[in-house]
Amino acid sequence: MIRETLIAALQSAIGPEYVLHRPEELMLYEYDGSALDQAMPDVVVLPGSTAEVAAAVRVAANMGVPVVARGAGTGLAGGTVPDQGGMVISLARLNRVLTIDPDSRTAVVQPGVVNLDLSLAAAPYGLHFAPDPSSQRSSTIGGNAGSNAGGPHCLKYGVTTNHILAATLVLADGGVVRLGSSATDAPGYDLLGVVVGSEGTLGVITELTVRLTRNAEDVRTFLAVFDDLEAAGACVSAIIAEGIIPAALEMMSGEGIAAVEASVHAGYPPDARAVLLIEIDGLREDLADEAKRIAAICTASGASDLRAATDAAQRARLWAGRKGALAACGRIAPHYHIVDGVVPRSRLPEVLRYSEEVAARYGMKVVNIFHAGDGNLHPLLLFDLRVPGTRERAIAAGEEILKACVAAGGTISGEHGIGIEKRDYMPWLFSAQDLGVFADLRAVFDPAGVMNPGKLLPRVIG
């Protein structure tokens, strides 16, 4: 009866055509990009404006129904899985770039705008949106803000929070507030910084003002090939220690290299133990010297080959290999669990080796595809969910790898967020008192605890 009342109220608020409630409609919203956690919502709404989002949230608030905001569903930590049922708010219809101001290098966008589409819209002005998750062809700006997503070029340019200036937020009671400012050093508490990365637990973002970045005058892209995994990891530290901050410094190891080459034909040597994708950008006259220094470091670190992209087409192929790596690994196994941990760069070689040992112990294959420059590891544990017990073994293996990341002085997420997957790992990093403060802050925004409940914070604190 409560569900029928909820559906009727939502249909009245935003229109019957934008309220999904049949089982075959709801099935599309019971999982995210990882598919390890699944749960069916009671209803899904597709509002077309901030006012309609607020109206839907008010209906849910009056009935005490959980509210889960969802973008493109590409998340990898279960952050948009409605594990307590309730209402999923799909922001797919809020997908417009509202304004681009090339003089101030800003844009105002709705949360359903696809990441890459914003850069394409800004391209005529010589600008782009710098945070570029590997899912940028499908993930949305709102989802990127929710998990504070990173990406290959965030090594030099910073993660999503560094590029969000302001946001419109619908609160748990349906109220609407504006956080942040386009002005520099605006006074007041940095509530925008609190909301970015909060995974929908504090409200629903319906509009964002973002910073755009000027396109570099010149770009150079290299592929360094290694026969030894630890040598590749050491090369990453050597480049940064030399004082060079590449625009991107990515690494791939194991069978994934051959899978990517078979899928994308990017020019990766399929028999390599590891490859580094290195990109530098900036003023043309500066890059020649920097390229020579990188070549010398790679050679000294044991690279067996260093290939430079000779034109834009070759550079695009190299990046197509990196961006398409997860999909390409479907040639190895039908399912994966991607671990998102961070370690100091100097500890990369040992943790990479350990991830392979863990995978072997659990009877799985692992491919490391990750943002090496900032130590953001992504061991990809490959398996077949149709084999009984495989899901549990994958989760256990991922937990061991994350514990190793923390023991090495790192943390449990670089960009995917905490969601369901890692909520109970938070006490590894924070005391009960710390987590209690987090919970208190959450309650200020959401006293009833209906905004994406069961995510980000552990189920039991203390």
pLDDT in tens, 310-319: 999 999 999 9
Confidence band of 173 (pLDDT split at 50, 70, 90):
very high
SS3 at position 73: coil
Candidates 50, 132, 41, 24; CA nearest to 82 is 41
Indicate the helix (H) or strand (E) that contains 7.
helix 2-14
Domain endpoint, select from 321, 347, 364: 321
**Residues 173, 127: one domain?**
yes
Q: What per-residue confidence (pLDDT) applies to 4?
A: 94
Q: Are residues 383 and 427 in the same domain?
A: no
Confidence (pLDDT) at 103: 97
Is the same domain home to 209 and 251? no
Averaged pLDDT score across all residues of the chain:
95
pLDDT confidence bin for 35, thresholds 50/70/90? confident
The Cα-based distances of 112 to 93, 182, 220, 226 in angstroms read 7, 21, 32, 40
Is the residue at 413 inside a domain?
no
> Does residue 412 form part of some domain?
no
Give 49 or 2, the one with higher predicted confidence. 49
E-strand ranges in 296-429 read 305-308, 335-338, 341-342, 365-370, 376-377, 379-383
Q: How many CB atoms lie within 10 A of CB 182?
A: 13
If asked whether residues 195 and 102 sit together in one domain, one would say yes
Establish if 339 belongs to a structural domain: yes
**Residue 374 DSSP class:** G
- In this structure, the number of other CB atoms found within 10 A of the CB of residue 428 comes to 15
Instruction: Tell me: do 179 and 195 sit in the same domain.
Output: yes
Nearest to 80 by CA among 421, 462, 436: 421
133 in the same domain as 38: no
**What contacts 131, CB < 8 A, 6 or more positions away?**
115, 144, 149, 150, 151, 153, 154, 157, 158, 159, 160, 162, 163
Q: Cα angle vertex 113, ends 161, 454, to 5°?
A: 60
* 121 and 155 share one domain: yes
pLDDT digits (tens, 9 = 90+) for 327-374: 999 999 999 999 999 999 999 989 999 999 999 999 999 999 999 999
Residues 309 and 243 both lie in one domain: yes
Over residues 275-283, mean pLDDT: 97
* Block residue for tokens 């449990």: 412
Residue 1 — pLDDT band, cuts 50, 70, 90?
low
From the centroid of its chain, how far is CA 390? 25
The total domain count for the chain is 5
Taking each helix axis from N to C end, the angle separating 50-63 and 2-14, rounded to the nearest 10 degrees, works out to 160
Cα–Cα dist 432/438, whole Å = 10
Whichever domain contains 387, its CATH number is 3.30.70.2740
pLDDT, tens digit, 9 for 90 and up, residues 113-159: 999 999 999 999 999 999 999 999 999 999 999 999 999 999 999 99
**pTM higher than the cut 0.75:** yes
By residue range, what is the domain housing residue 32? 2-90
Q: d(Cα 401, Cα 414) in Å, to the nearest integer? A: 14
Q: What is the model's pLDDT at position 333?
A: 94
Provide mean pLDDT across the span 424-442.
97
Does one domain contain both 210 and 222? no
Quickly state the pLDDT bin for 461 (edges 50, 70, 90).
Answer: confident
> What gap in Å lies between CA 255 and CA 393, rounded to an integer?
20
Q: Is residue 137 in some structural domain? A: yes
| Residue 76: pLDDT over 70 | yes
Cα distance between the two ends of the chain: 37
Q: Are residues 126 and 229 both part of a single domain?
A: no
Mean pLDDT over residues 154-181, rounded? 97
List strand residue ranges (DSSP E) for 345-439, in order.
365-370, 376-377, 379-383
- Is residue 209 exposed (0-12), middle (13-18) or buried (19+ Cβ within 10 Å)? buried
CATH code: domain of residue 316:
3.30.70.2190
Residue 2 has a pLDDT of 84
Gap between the Cα atoms of 347 and 350, Å rounded: 6
pLDDT above 90: residue 187:
no
pLDDT digit string, tens, across residues 385-407: 899 999 999 999 999 999 999 99
Kindly report the CATH number assigned to the domain that includes residue 180. 3.30.465.10
Looking at 43, 75, 90, which one is the last position of a domain? 90
Boundary of a domain, candidates 214, 233, 258? 214
Q: What is the pLDDT of residue 36?
A: 85
Name the residue among 108, 114, 202 with its Cα closest to residue 164.
108
